[in-house]
Amino acid sequence: MSSNDGALIGLDVGTTGARALAINLQGQVLASAVEEYPLSIPRPGWTEQDPETWWIASQSVIAAVTLQLETPPIALGLTGQMHGSVFLDSAGNVIRPALLWNDQRTADQCRQITDLVGQEQLLRITGNVAVTGFQAPKILWLRDHEPAAYGRLQTVLLPKDFVRLRLTGDRATDASDASGTLLLDLKARDWSSEILSLLEIPKEWLPRVHEGSEPTGTITPAVAARLGLPPRLVVAGGAGDNAAAAVGNGIVRPGAVSSSIGTSGVVFAFSEAPRTDSRGRLMSFCHAFPGGYHVMGVTLSAGGSLRWWRDAGAGGLDYDELTRLAAEAPPGSEGLIFLPYLAGERTPHLDAEARGAFVGLHLGHTSAHLARAVMEGVVYSLKDCLDLVVGLGVPVREIRATGGGARSPLWRQLQADVFGFPIHRNRVDEGPAFGAALLAGVACGAFESVDRTSDVVRVESEVELPDPELHELYEKERRIYSELYDAMAPGVHRLAELDRL
């Protein structure tokens, strides 16, 4: 670590809002700011946002953090929601609202990509199969459904990289975020000429690919003056939100795994080489530093399921009240199981038409049982992810709880009991923005390497230990949970067909 002191800023362009924080070189948070923005759902299964709202909110939170600092920042790192597609014309203007990571409209385009490239070839080159969340099918959807807009298209960017363009004037991305486009050669860590050719996507539309710990440019003088930043402030490549959060949680070495409960849920495991699931049930991506990789399983509605239940069935209780209510019900919720597939599901089903359900309801069940069943169902889904990670031969020595769910003792204990592993909680749990700030520190030379940034990530001594009897109970219930998807899928798919009529 450099002897020079200074502040590092991390900016997270999230799904519900932008968040900036500043840390010192010891990992202490000096300042933070958040600004929310709306999510548009023009049709069931569609999610969009106006990229200009990201830029407005990003400027606001960066300026707010900078005002709180005693000394000027020395670098800025970017992170944000993955997979989204920002479409720009030749002048850099937004053509239409961005299609987001959880948008499900591109099932037909995923089939087109699989037919054109071949599933084995997709796995070999990109490490993944075609799923609706990725960026490539969104580009083809624009071609198929909005040809006038497609005719104006000159640049395609991921969400954080649109903000980078406004900050620096540079079209750039990083390998971890680019991994989620279905256009990156995972081993080469650059765009795949073969896939671009087959899909007829010009390489000129895409930004340069950097490592997350590399500088990609500097803040323009005009932006620096407007936001109170130093002229020519270095901007790091950064990372997609999951990889950035992993850096912030020290998941940069073999055996380290994180389990995150936010709007979505993610089991993220470090890997020294690309590893792919033959059916594409796990995502295989570059990590945020040279030579690093990771695999991850994704539950699309994790904390989102609890938020849905809070708003739709629990009378608007806050999360602390809701988890206290859930704790009143016994483990296993007296035979009640919740399937958390409210927005379709990625891991392990790769089913955009999967739907949620309560199964086993009887007259004795109360609102406490339903709340607990929602939480247990989410953790069962995360256990599906963890089992696939272990099945790939990825070592699992320590699991760290992250995301908003890490603040809840009940969420952490449920993970310990269902996973059968001790669950650690980090001292610093500031999410992706913290990891982005650490990457900025590497880019400007304040840290020697991403591996060394883990020196400032401390783990709490408090650990949730699994209860062997409860683990056995949950294993029995989870086997039933796993059977329910297969039993219900045909009927659910027919309902989805009716919904489209």
Active-site annotation, residues? 241
For residue 161 the two structure tokens come to: 């990289």
Q: Answer yes or no: are the C-beta atoms of 196 and 183 closer than 8 Å.
A: yes
For tokens 């912030």, the residue is 248
Strand ranges (E), 312-448:
337-339, 357-359, 396-402, 423-426
For residue 355 the two structure tokens come to: 């739907």
| Terminal Cα distance for the chain, rounded | 60
- State residue 413 phi and psi, 5-degree precision: -65, -40
Helix (H, G, I), strand (E, B) or coil at 22: strand
Nearest to 206 by CA among 186, 187, 191: 191
d(CA 184, CA 186) in angstroms, rounded, equals: 6
d(CA 370, CA 330) in angstroms, rounded, equals: 11
**83 in the Ramachandran plot: left (φ > 0), alpha (ψ -120 to 50) or beta?**
left
Q: How many CB atoms within 10 Å of residue 501?
A: 4
d(CA 491, CA 343) in angstroms, rounded, equals: 17
Q: Answer yes or no: are the C-beta atoms of 159 and 54 closer than 8 Å.
A: yes
Q: Answer yes or no: are the C-beta atoms of 100 and 146 closer than 8 Å.
A: no
**115 in the Ramachandran plot: left (φ > 0), alpha (ψ -120 to 50) or beta?**
alpha
Angle at 177 between CA 268 and CA 162, to 5 degrees: 140
d(CA 158, CA 398) in angstroms, rounded, equals: 31
Exposure on the CB side of residue 226, measured as CA atoms within 13 A = 13
Q: How many CB atoms within 10 Å of residue 240?
A: 30
d(CA 490, CA 484) in angstroms, rounded, equals: 11
Give one DSSP letter per residue of 55-74, joined into a string.
HHHHHHHHHHHHHH-SS-EE
d(CA 430, CA 23) in angstroms, rounded, equals: 10
- Provide the pairing of β-strand 255-261 with 396-402: parallel
